Amino acid sequence: MERILVVDDDSVNLLIARACLKDYYDVRTASNGRLALKFLQKNDCDLILLDIVMPDINGIEVFKKIREDQRLKDIPVVFLTSENDKETEGLCLESGAADFISKPFVPEILRLRVERIIDSESIKKNLQNRLKQKEDELENIKAKEK
């Protein structure tokens, strides 16, 4: 089962996100950016839902730290925020976020967007694995020819 980390300083948002995703995914939560980074040091996850406006370290800074970490850099991040102006959305998407969801979010829409991202990541990983296998096979053939 895929693991999703939801990071938000609003406990109601954490409860709603967990409730709408828990039947499909292993949902973990963090109430601030520091706790999220601490969790990610010791745990893997397949997707991060990340609030932008948080009191200790904002979501943009958490996102930057995730992208700087070799082990974490490929985890898709979806920003969840009440900052729903087009400039913020553009900034998030340009920075490499997988998606942007405005709060208050509609639980069913959140679940469908998460499902879409998880499915596309699974396809991407399968294709990368197949490509790696083919490259290895080609290397073996070349080595035998020598």
Give the count of beta carbons closer than 10 Å to the beta carbon of residue 39.
16
Total tally of structural domains belonging to the chain: 1
Q: Which CATH number fits the domain that encloses residue 7?
A: 3.40.50.2300
**Residue 3: pLDDT band with limits 50, 70, 90:** very high
Give the model confidence (pLDDT) of 11-46 as tens digits: 999 999 999 999 999 999 999 999 999 999 999 999
Q: Provide the residue range defining the domain that includes 123.
A: 3-145
Report the C-alpha gap between 75 and 140 in whole angstroms. Answer: 31
Give the model confidence (pLDDT) of 90-109 as tens digits: 777 888 889 989 888 899 99
pLDDT given for residue 90 in this prediction = 78
Give the model confidence (pLDDT) of 50-66 as tens digits: 999 998 899 999 999 99
Give the model confidence (pLDDT) of 117-142 as tens digits: 999 999 999 999 999 999 999 998 88
Tokens of 22: 């828990």
* Cβ-based neighbours of 16, under 8 Å, separated by 6 or more: 105, 107
